[in-house]
Chain A
Amino acid sequence: MTGLLAIYAFDDIWRVGKYVYYGLLALQHRGQGAFQVYALSNEGIAGGLFKEIRQEVFAELNGWSMIAAAFPDYVDVRKCSYLLKGTDLELAVLLDSSPGAPPAEEVANVIYSKAVGGNLAKAVEEAVQLLHGVNDLLVMSSLGEVVAYRSTPGLRPLVVGSYGFDMVIVASEAPAVSIVGGEVRRSLSPGELIYITRYLVRSKRIKHCSRCSVCALELVYMARPDAIIDGVEVYAFRRRLGEKLAEVFDKDVDVVIGVPETAIPYAIGLAQALGKRFELGFVSTGSRARSALKADPLERLAAIQLKMNPVRGVFVGKKVAIVDDSLVTGATAKTVIQILRNRVGAKEVHLLLASPKIVRECPHGLPLPSREELLAANLDDDLALKYVEADSITWIPTDALESTAEEHGISLCLSCLEGGERS
């Protein structure tokens, strides 16, 4: 889930540090555990690891070519980031995490052994073919080269953008490009790398997938709604899923709300399809931390509660449909429903989930809670209803998610979801 960012200026009068700062701000929902930044200047590659993104950092750590990553707190940064100081060549490597994948140090060493006297694109290609399971990758060399690689089957997005004649920007999500005034050119394909130097920019598909697929949770949960993944507008995709929720929902409600903030596009789609009012139900306090990605349960609860100050009048005496984007442990849903019933006085509360049941761990290393911690894997529907104390629970069927993906011309990895065994 790491947020990756590379900014490369063709003219060395640029210092792109400030661009990296704002780009990372646009990617921080993908990881807030640690931020690793590498910068190339005439003195070679310098790096820094930070707990938070602060602008002052970039006064020192700056250059005309930079790569950076926003890591979630579950990631072991030492395995995902490495600076190799060779005698003739320095390499900085940033990797998205993945279980069983080679650590950044090993990846850097293999690339180094292939790159000396050759070109970085070929070296990365050989390293990817040689090592098993290399995930999404950014590599920067002291010779002014950058390589970005999107792994197969394409679980995470990676886009290429430009700032006029002056810069190339590669980022996990499109908003990091537009926030610095750039234009998104296109998504990299799964298995495609892009090689950027001052005199040459080339892209090449070095690995193919028989069935390329994007992680379903990117589309339903992770990515910003203003992102575009493989040509699909995330907001439109989510609103469409909300409409499909209406098809399987048979209760009568007065209002529809989306909670947390990430669930709003579904709620809008659902409300429009039901012909009911969409309301602003909760106001969030503080940062946009992703509650489900917090490792510590207490921290997770704190993050949820901070997002959930109710707008009372919306709920008093009303039949409410609340839409959440996912149900992992059910902690968010239970907290919200308690607030609505006990503190505010809603008449009925119906819970709708915009993602299908998560019933399995992620084979690609997304740190969903283990099987024992997944609500849908442990509680049957009746017990789940009693546990969260809702009047009804409606899940989006996995086939509705699949058909929405088909409508948008993409294929999803559904491995962790009920009915998603095939992929």
Chain B
Amino acid sequence: MKVLIVGDGGREHALGLMVSKSAVEPTIYVAAGHRNPGLLKLAEGSGGRMYTTNVLDPASVVKVAEGTSPDLVIVGPEEPQFHGVVDALKERGFTVFGATSKLARIEMSKAFARELMWKHGIPGRLAYRAFASMEEALEYMEMAGDVVIKPARQAGGKGVKVLADTQAYLMDDRARVKKDYVRKLFREIASKYKDIDVKVLIEQRVEGVEYTVMVVTDGSTVLPLPAVQDHPHAFEMDLGPETGGMGSIAGPGIVPPFLTRDEFELSVDIIRKTIQALQKELGEEYRGAISGQMMLTAVWGPTVIEFYSRFGDPEIANLLPIIESDFLDILDRAATGRLAGAKLRIREDLATVVKAIAPMGYPNNKSIARGHPVEVGSEALSKSDCYLLYSAVELRDDGRLYTTGSRAFEVVCSGGTIEEASAKAEEVVAAVRCTDGWPLIHRADIGSRELLRERIELAERIRAVYRYRAERGVLGTSIVWVPGKGIFFDPLQSPVKVRR
């Protein structure tokens, strides 16, 4: 069997490794934007090869597919999906695992995703306002209150401004920041992306414990993967700017220690309902992966922060050490509408930890993070049962590895406990360095007992509140009383207007 993987990140490396374990011993081809050494080795080792091409250009990817005649194409990242790579491949008759451009709007347009949830009454939806006009957005910011400002289009998981605004005495200052940020977003989105009208989304801010639920689907059957927790802050102690994810923890088993089985099932159900709503609206079958970036909140319990039309990166890597099923078979069944009856078998006794390693400058100044020679001490890796995934590193003609500006590596380890897996990961992380002395960042605290205890405590606090609200029939609602004006059921209806 021949498989073509489109994409060049740590996620695709993880997918490639899982696919390569299949009993059918597939030949793996890769269409990549840069020469990811992990994928290169995997492809060549299987008798296939890597093609360096523009993965955002449907014609270029089709050309690679036509040259290799794969039995299955896996389109990993979101941007090729947004650009119509899946559509073009399907038109030429290829079997594809991955969302079409229409279906991928669930990730690309955050306004579309929210609208879909509200229209179909899907639980876990947050109040929002979408703005195509900067003037209207700025006017709204005068009285926005406790909100999150997001670019309305998926922009590599970044650009989200969370503005906790619960101190009246700091309100006018935050209103200024909100307006400045809205102007900045409008400028950036308008100059970078031509594929979306709505530029900025304002959302009700919620607090709680985040986790990711990923599923594989053929449009009718939904096969959930174990829940994973990502760590978005760039620096230890949960400090610093939002990244695509500095590492993730999972297990042992399907549900991490801070989540209940019920909460997991409810989360899967939200995704199932979303898939059904999507298919109803768009008239296409969803054959691929879809993930919910979830948060356990006081408003709803399981709540959708955003959707991904793909597997999470680094979250999918948590599956790598524990999967026992033939993952290629699962993806192939999803792509061909035969997922019913497929089972996911995993090692229930193992916890997993993924840690990303990025050059200093990531995430907010990729130009200084780019172009640093980096090497991996092979000894630490050979002694370990961990995996090293190659992400934003390229193999140049001088035979050396260079950073390309984003997360360079992901270290994937398993152990009896999350702490044990984390300790193993630290050993491998220590073997990676930039040979020009450029600092690398990673988070030693991911998987630590302290951080896990914090998450468990926070989850318990939130759980008590949403259960209280559920008992009183106010789950999903927020009652706002504006004296003299009336009672509203919209948390974005602020009772206090910020003075100009």
Report A's interface with B, CB cutoff 8 A.
10-11, 13-15, 18-19, 22, 160, 162-166, 168, 179-181, 185-186, 198-203
Contact = CB atoms under 8 A, between A and B. Distances in A.
B426 to A, nearest CB: 15
Contact of B360 (A165, A168, A185, A199): A199
Given A160-B237, A186-B237, A199-B361, A165 B242 contact: yes
A200 B441 contact: yes
Interface in B145-184: 160-167, 169-170, 173, 176-177, 180-181, 184
A165 B181 contact: no
Contacts of A19: 170, 173
A204 B176 CA distance: 36
A268 B441 CA distance: 48
Contact of A163 (B164, B184, B368): B164
Interface in B219-240: 232-240
A74 B148 CA distance: 45
Interface string B232-257: 11111111111000000000000000
A201 B240 contact: yes
8 contacts: A10-B364, A13-B180, A22-B167, A165-B240, A168-B239, A181-B170, A199-B361, A201-B240
B121 interface: no
Contacts of A198: 364-365
A200 B439 contact: yes
Contact of B240 (A14, A15, A168): A168
B233 A165 contact: yes
Contacts of A185: 237-239
Contact of A180 (B170, B233, B362, B365): B170
Contacts of B162: 164-166
B497 to A, nearest CB: 19
A416 B9 CA distance: 61
A13 B173 CA distance: 11
Nearest to B174: A181
Interface residues of B, number: 36
A18 B173 contact: yes
Q: Which 10 A-B pairs have the closest CB atoms?
A: A201-B235, A185-B237, A164-B162, A165-B242, A13-B180, A18-B173, A199-B360, A10-B241, A181-B167, A165-B241
A171 B232 CA distance: 24
Interface in B344-380: 360-362, 364-365, 368
A345 B147 CA distance: 57
Nearest to A200: B360
A202 B441 CA distance: 9
A199 B177 CA distance: 21
A22 to B, nearest CB: 7
Contacts of A168: 239-240
Of the candidates B162, B237, B365, the one having the most CB atoms from chain A within 10 angstroms of its own CB is B237
Contacts of A186: 237, 450
Nearest to B360: A199
B356 to A, nearest CB: 15
B370 to A, nearest CB: 13
Of the candidates A14, A160, A163, the one having the most CB atoms from chain B within 10 angstroms of its own CB is A14
A181 B365 contact: no
Nearest to B365: A199
A181 B165 contact: yes
Contacts of A10: 240-241, 364
Contacts of A14: 177
Interface string B417-453: 0000000000000000000000101000000001000
A13 B441 contact: no
Contacts of B236: 201-203
A18 B172 CA distance: 10
Nearest to A162: B239
Nearest to B232: A165
B462 to A, nearest CB: 14
Contacts of B365: 198-199
A13 B181 CA distance: 8
Nearest to B235: A201
A58 to B, nearest CB: 10
A182 to B, nearest CB: 9
A201 B439 CA distance: 11
A181 B239 contact: no
Contacts of A22: 167, 169-170
Nearest to B439: A200
A199 B364 CA distance: 8
Nearest to B176: A15
A180 B167 contact: yes
A15 B173 contact: yes
Contacts of A15: 173, 176
A18 B239 contact: no
A160 B362 CA distance: 22
